[in-house]
Structures are given as C-alpha cells and as structure tokens.
Amino acid sequence: MPSTCTLNPTQLTPTPTGVSFSTTASGSIGDYSFNVHGVGSDTNTVTHDFPLTLHVVDFGIGSFSSTALSANEPNSSNPITFQVTGAGSFSGTVSLACSGLPTGASCNFSPSSSVNPTSSTPVTVTLTIGTTTATPTGVTPITLTASTSGAPDKTQSLSLTVTANPDFTVVLTTSSASIAAGSTATLNGTVTAYNGYTSSVNLSCVSGPPTCSLLPTSVAASTTGATFMVTVGSDAVQNYSFNIAGTGTDPLSISHTAPVTLSSIFDFTISSASGAQTVKAGASATYMLNVAPTGTGNTFPTNVAFSCSGLPLLSTCSFTTVATGSGATTATLTISTTAPSAASHAGTSNLFYALMLPLPTLVIVLGGVRRRSLHRWTRLTLLLIATALLGSLVACGGGGSNGGTGGAGLPGTPVGTYTVMVSASSGSAPTKTVNVTLTVQ
C-alpha cells in the first residue's frame, strides 16, 4: 500500500452512464498493488474492489571519476566516467547534454548521449570535451544535465581548463573498415602540428589486429599535416577495436591516439576446376567446383546453397552438399539433359485390327443385299478402310524416307552451346558466381 492514497470525491451516487472519480497515490521508490474499495449505502451494502498498480521510479547520475577536465586546444580533454542509474521499475531513456561550453567546444558521450539504465543494469558513460583552435584558453564552468520524460532533471557541475601549448593531433580520414577475412584495408591519417609544435612523431598500433603496419612509422609534424597510411587485416572472422598512437619526440613525450575499428567478416570463393563439357542429349555433364572460406582456419557458417541459371531447355542441375562447418571443399555439379523420344507405330496396327473386326458382321449384313447393290457396298467399305488406314499412317509419321521407326516424338534438350551460371551463398557473405560451359549434341 502506498504511503499516500486519496480519492476525490470519497462519496458519489452511481448513474447508468457512470460517475468519475480520481485517485492520487504516492510513496517511496517501489511497486505497489492495492484496491479502490467501494461500499454501497444500500440495504445490502453491495461492495466492489478495483485493483490498481503504482510504480514509483527514479533515475540518477552517480559520482564522477573527476569533475575537472583539461584540454590543450585543438585536442580533446582527458576522459572522465560516471554511471547513469535507474531506481525501482525505471525503464525510460535518459538524455545527456552539456551547457555553458566555451566557443568551439563540444561534449562527447560514449557509448551514447541517450542511455537506458535499469535498477539492475546501470550504464557507465565516458565523457570527453573536444576543442578547436577557436576555443579560448582559461577555465570555464560546465553543467552536465541528465533528463527523462516526466521527471525533474539531474545536474552535475564540471570545469574545463583550456590551454594552448605546443601540441599535435592524430586524425584518421576513416576510422573504421570492414573487410573479408584474409584480406587487408588501408586507412589514411594525418599528423598536424599546432601552437608551434616542431618535433617529429613516432606512430604505432596499440592492441591492433594481426596485420597492422604503418607507413611511415615516423613523421615530422607540420601545420599543413604530415600524412601516413595504416594497413590492417586478419585471417580470423573477428571484430577489433584498437588505437593508432602518435608519440612525440619532444621533451614531454606528448602522446595522442586515434581509435580504429576493424570488422574481419566471413567470405568465401568459388571456382570451376573443370573445362567445357560436351554431351549428347540425354546424357549428364559433371563439373568440379572449388569452394573455400577466405582466411586461414575458417569454415562455412551454414550449408552452401547452390543454384543454376541459363540452363538449356529440358535440363536440370544438382549439387553435392557442402555442409556447415566445412572448410575448403570440392563440390560436384551435375547437369542432366533429356534425349528426344520417337513415336511408335503400335497405334497404327491397333487401328488396323480395330477396323478389321467389324468385317465379319459386314459380310453377314451384305449377304442379304442384292448382287448389284453388293458390289457398290463392297467398294464403298474398302474405300473407307483404306482412307482410315492412310490417315493413321500420316498422323503417326509413317512412310518416312529413312525407313526407321519414324514419327515425331517428344523433343529433347536442344542442340547448342550454353553458358550456365552457378550461384553459391553461405551465411552473410555476398553471393558468389562462376560460369561453366555445356555443349549438347
């Protein structure tokens, strides 16, 4: 039961259309289940309860690792961390922002300026303040504000000290790359001198992937920017987060880092190990296809799905299985064609016998016909039989000049040369294709 629960009004007279009332409840952080209890003033004192649930929630920002930030313009400040917490059944979104920043300065939150804490999972946030050459030197008070819908804002006071001592920046044109396992990517970067910095800067990869090389490894910082390249790669299917570090040769050994992310993702290749195949219609052609994951030691995350396009008419293709967990494998592609089929004269023979069956009956019938009429009926009957037999022979292709079985049957796979495209897919890798050549005679 919440510590405060009031009804307004506390007494009313029900009507067929209903009479409204309001409930006001409050309490300390927690979840409350309670009832609005109604008792009638009738002789039977009819009683009803209506269940209510109240969630009292809150959020907060915990203590900061430091409330003082310092930055040598145009670089970013030192990072500070704090936690955004939820209390009770809090499940809202907390938005973070800074106010009072000097010109050219900006607040940067990681993982985001919008977080979703709960009572069991607070979110740890890292804050840095970036500066530019336009940011004035000196100390500036800053206010961090955390807000969410339906609740008062939470604030925290910070201070930013900006200096303009000799310094440099390390900046990558692109700070992330996604490549196929076993391949490499090249990122470009620049080291720029500020505030009279004149020393050279040594470059290195910090906790990088197996392939992480810099060219050159040392640059002379200049106000126009000294360029360098980073080559990164990995045989493994893995994500990497690392830094490119620049350490100055100045007496203070000033150091700055540029963050990099690399996604080395699954991919594979497909190629045909067979040349062009020639078969007669009705036969099958076999091709050997090499499929292999890129990189070293990688396997297929799902069965490889194959398909064909460009097949000749009346032909099909089939493949042997390349299963989940397989490494480099040779798959077999079989293209099956269809032979033409000839018609049979059996139908002609059957028709002939069918026409002969009524003759005995016809003879008996004609026996009662006068001689003069008999000759006329006989000629007419024989003419009908001959016409029927001739028609059946023509329909079945009889009388062909090759003297063979004759007859135009079902067509087979057409003669010709075909380019068949084989497609293969597995996991999230792009679909791969390879062409094979088939000649049908």
Q: Is the peptide bond before 74 cis (omega within 30 degrees of 0)?
A: yes
- 3-state SS, residue 309: strand
pLDDT (mean) for 403-432: 85
pLDDT at 133 over 90: yes
pLDDT score recorded for residue 378: 55
Angle at 15 between CA 14 and CA 16, to 5 degrees: 130
pLDDT score recorded for residue 1: 85
Rg of the chain over all Cα atoms, to the nearest angstrom = 44
> Quick one: pLDDT band at residue 382, thresholds 50, 70, 90?
low
Q: Which of 236-240, 312-316, 389-393, 405-409 has the lowest mean pLDDT?
A: 389-393
**Cβ neighbours of 97 (radius 10 Å):** 13
> Quick one: pLDDT band at residue 372, thresholds 50, 70, 90?
low
CATH 3.40.50.300 given to domain 59-163: no
Query: Which token pair is 59?
Result: 């959020």
Instruction: Give dist(CA 333, CA 342) in Å, integer.
Output: 29
pLDDT score recorded for residue 149: 93
The answer to whether 226 and 198 have CB atoms below 8 angstroms apart is no
pLDDT score recorded for residue 341: 86
Query: Which token pair is 23?
Result: 């409930």
Angle between helices 346-356 and 371-395 (to 10 degrees): 170
pLDDT (mean) for 345-366: 48
pLDDT score recorded for residue 417: 98
Instruction: Give dist(CA 212, CA 255) in Å, integer.
Output: 19
- 3-state SS, residue 355: helix
pLDDT tens sequence across 65-90: 999 999 999 999 999 999 999 999 99
pLDDT at 356 over 70: no
Query: Which token pair is 227?
Result: 């360029």
pLDDT at 209 over 90: yes
| DSSP conformation class of 392 | H
- The amino acid at 31: D
**Summary mean pLDDT of the chain:** 89
Q: Which of 206, 257, 258, 265 is nearest to 233 (CA)?
A: 265
Instruction: Give dist(CA 204, CA 208) in Å, integer.
Output: 9
pLDDT score recorded for residue 410: 81
Instruction: Give dist(CA 335, CA 341) in Å, integer.
Output: 19
Using DSSP bridges, classify how beta strands 176-180 and 255-265 pair: parallel, antiparallel or unpaired.
Answer: parallel
Q: Which of 148-162, 178-192, 260-274, 331-345 has the lowest mean pLDDT?
A: 331-345
Query: Would the CATH topology of 167-265 be identical to that of 268-339+413-440?
Result: yes
**Cβ neighbours of 203 (radius 10 Å):** 21
pLDDT score recorded for residue 308: 97
Alpha carbon of residue 351 to chain centroid: 65
Using DSSP bridges, classify how beta strands 277-279 and 432-440 pair: parallel, antiparallel or unpaired.
Answer: parallel
pLDDT score recorded for residue 352: 47
Q: How far apart are the first and last CA of the chain?
A: 89
pLDDT score recorded for residue 224: 96
pLDDT score recorded for residue 150: 87
Distances 189 to 35, 72, 133 between C-alpha atoms, Å: 66, 20, 19
Query: Could you state, in order of their start, the residue ranges of all structural domains in the chain?
Result: 4-56, 59-163, 167-265, 268-339+413-440
Alpha helices per DSSP H over 323-370: 346-356, 359-367
**Cβ neighbours of 398 (radius 10 Å):** 15
> Quick one: pLDDT band at residue 403, thresholds 50, 70, 90?
very low
The answer to whether 177 and 230 have CB atoms below 8 angstroms apart is no
CA count, 13 A, side-chain hemisphere, 40: 9
pLDDT score recorded for residue 175: 95
> Quick one: pLDDT band at residue 404, thresholds 50, 70, 90?
very low
pLDDT tens sequence across 96-130: 999 999 999 999 999 999 999 999 999 999 999 99
211-215 β-sheet, strand order: 167-172, 184-194, 226-233, 211-215
pLDDT score recorded for residue 411: 87
Q: Which of 195, 126, 131, 194 is nearest to 160 (CA)?
A: 131
Angle between helices 371-395 and 359-367 (to 10 degrees): 160
pLDDT (mean) for 248-258: 96
Please tell me whether the overall predicted TM-score, pTM, comes out greater than 0.75 for this model: no
The answer to whether 159 and 139 have CB atoms below 8 angstroms apart is yes
Per-residue b/e over 105-141, b at no fewer than 16 CB within 10 Å?
A: bebebeeeeebebbbeebbebebbbbbeeebeeeebe
Location of structure tokens 């009956």 = 361
Which option is the CATH number for 167-265: 3.30.460.80, 1.10.10.10, 3.30.70.260, 2.60.40.3170? 2.60.40.3170
Q: Which of 175, 195, 193, 194 is nearest to 185 (CA)?
A: 175
Phi-psi region of 361 (alpha: psi -120 to 50; beta: other; left: phi over 0): alpha
pLDDT at 405 over 50: no
pLDDT at 349 over 90: no
Phi/psi of residue 428, each to 5°? -95, 5
Instruction: Give dist(CA 242, CA 236) in Å, integer.
Output: 16
Q: Which of 263, 225, 228 is nearest to 245 (CA)?
A: 228
Q: Which of 17-21, 37-41, 275-279, 371-375 has the lowest mean pLDDT?
A: 371-375
The CATH number that domain 268-339+413-440 falls under is: 2.60.40.10
Phi-psi region of 407 (alpha: psi -120 to 50; beta: other; left: phi over 0): left
pLDDT tens sequence across 7-44: 999 999 999 999 999 999 998 888 899 999 999 999 99
- 3-state SS, residue 99: strand
